[in-house]
Amino acid sequence: MPITRRAALAAAALPLAAPALAQPWPGRPIRVLVPFAPGGAADSAARTVLPRMGERLSTTFVVENRTGAGGSIGGAEVARSAPDGFTLLWDASSHIVNHALLRGLTFDYATAFLPISQVCTFPQVVAVKADFPARDLAAFIAMAKARPNTINMGTQGNATAGHLGLARFAREAGIEVQHVPYRGGADAARDLAAGTLDGVFITALSARPVVESGRARFLAVASAQRLANLPDVPTLAESGLPGFDVSEWVGLFAPAGTSPDIATRLQQALAASLAEEEVRARLDRLGAIPVGSTPAAFARYVTEGRAAMTTLVREANIRIE
């Protein structure tokens, strides 16, 4: 049928169809891979903080546990994900040491991720069994120098933050101790309580119940500052090892190439959630100290920590067995 002039003019007057607009981020649920087992400190922190972040961003964070190979299996999945803000990594301090310990990695921790924020830290402590002769860290060091490799010290396992902290402590103090790796801090704490271990270098959360039961004593905390809930326990830095600061931590990462705007929004939602009294109280029960650093500050922390851990792993000959 021929188109009349009037019909053609009418068609021309119609508004053009609006192009489909991209849905503002997030607009749909966000996957967060936790490369550790459910119920652990990292997983528990994620399930404490992420729901509050979801409320602020009007979305849902879906936690998925991808365990294995020191956290690198979950890391690999996020590394190959699209940098669209819908797949994130909730990683721990193994993030800055795995490159020096694991062979055959399919990605580079240094370039595959955009650091969003350090979420919290889990301070480590040096504790000894109740009848151990040394009453403070100076006496412990003197005893270890007089009797090399006779003091056995438990940690959460090979290449964990506790193992790395113990190795750094031994190196800087000029001592040699026997490292006894466990499958977690709770197992090391159990043997400390039984008296079959001389001491431990584990999280304050794992050690505290044994100390409170009277079967162990704190000698020092490994964080830069004294802990608010252990105000009478000196730091290793105060005890003769200046600058000592080794803590387990968890942080939020996105695939490299993620928009800086998305990174900023995630960090702001995280920092605001960490400021909530209820969230802080729940993290305190986990033995965690909230941080909420900016992407730039966290990126510096990760870069500096990776360099320090690379040197420590090499000099202390740390390996995953």
In this predicted model, what pLDDT tens digit does every residue of 174-221 receive, in sequence order?
A: 999 999 999 888 899 999 999 999 999 999 989 999 999 999 999 999
Cα–Cα distance, 281 to 19 (Å, whole number)? 48
Pairing of β 87-92 and β 247-255: antiparallel
Report yes or no on 9 lying in a domain: no
Cα–Cα distance, 66 to 62 (Å, whole number)? 13
Report yes or no on 167 lying in a domain: yes
Cα–Cα distance, 279 to 290 (Å, whole number)? 9
Residue 218 φ then ψ, to 5°: -80, 140
pLDDT digits (tens, 9 = 90+) for 250-262: 999 999 999 999 9
Residue 166 has pLDDT above 70, yes or no: yes
**Same-domain check for residues 171 and 206:** yes
Would you tell me how many other CB atoms lie within 10 Å of the CB of residue 169? 25
Q: What is the pLDDT of residue 321?
A: 61
Give the pLDDT band of residue 316 (cuts 50, 70, 90). confident
* CATH code: domain of residue 252: 3.40.190.150
Higher pLDDT residue, 209 or 321? Answer: 209
Query: What does pLDDT average to over the chain?
Result: 91
Q: What angle do CA 32, 289, 132 make, to 5 degrees?
A: 120
Q: What is the pLDDT of residue 88?
A: 98
Report yes or no on 234 lying in a domain: no
Q: What is the pLDDT of residue 39?
A: 85
**Same-domain check for residues 109 and 162:** no
Residue 158 has pLDDT above 60, yes or no: yes
Q: What is the pLDDT of residue 18?
A: 40
Question: Is the separation of the CB atoms in 202 and 176 below 8 Å?
Answer: no
Q: What is the pLDDT of residue 320?
A: 74
**Same-domain check for residues 99 and 146:** no
Query: What are the residues facing 220 on neighbouring strands?
Result: 126
The pTM (predicted TM-score) of the whole model is 0.84
Share of the chain above pLDDT 70, in %: 93
**Same-domain check for residues 89 and 159:** no
Report yes or no on 285 lying in a domain: yes
Q: Which amino acid is at 11?
A: A
* CATH code: domain of residue 200: 3.40.190.10
Q: Which of these, 84, 158, 103, 162, lies nearest to 127 by C-alpha position?
A: 162
Q: What is the pLDDT of residue 113?
A: 98
Q: By residue range, what is the domain housing residue 80?
A: 30-121+248-316
pLDDT digits (tens, 9 = 90+) for 89-120: 999 999 999 999 998 999 999 999 999 999 99
Cα–Cα distance, 90 to 309 (Å, whole number)? 20
CA distances from 3 to 8, 15, 17 (A): 7, 19, 21
**Same-domain check for residues 196 and 286:** no
State yes or no: cis peptide before 35, omega within 30 of 0.
Answer: no
- Count CA within 13 A, CB hemisphere, residue 251: 27
Report yes or no on 230 lying in a domain: no
Report yes or no on 173 lying in a domain: yes
What is the dihedral angle through the alpha carbons of 178, 170, 104, 32, rounded to the nearest 10 degrees? 100
Domain count, the chain: 2
**Same-domain check for residues 104 and 158:** no
Q: What's the mean pLDDT in 292-321?
A: 91
**Same-domain check for residues 71 and 138:** no
Q: What's the mean pLDDT in 138-163?
A: 94
Q: Which amino acid is at 93?
A: S
Question: Is the separation of the CB atoms in 38 and 65 below 8 Å?
Answer: yes
Q: Give the residue from 221, 256, 275 where a domain finishes.
A: 221
**Same-domain check for residues 72 and 131:** no
**Same-domain check for residues 65 and 99:** yes
**Same-domain check for residues 141 and 200:** yes
Give the pLDDT band of residue 238 (cuts 50, 70, 90). very high
pLDDT digits (tens, 9 = 90+) for 40-83: 889 999 999 999 999 999 999 999 999 888 889 999 999 999 99
Cα–Cα distance, 202 to 120 (Å, whole number)? 16
Residue with tokens 């800086």: 260
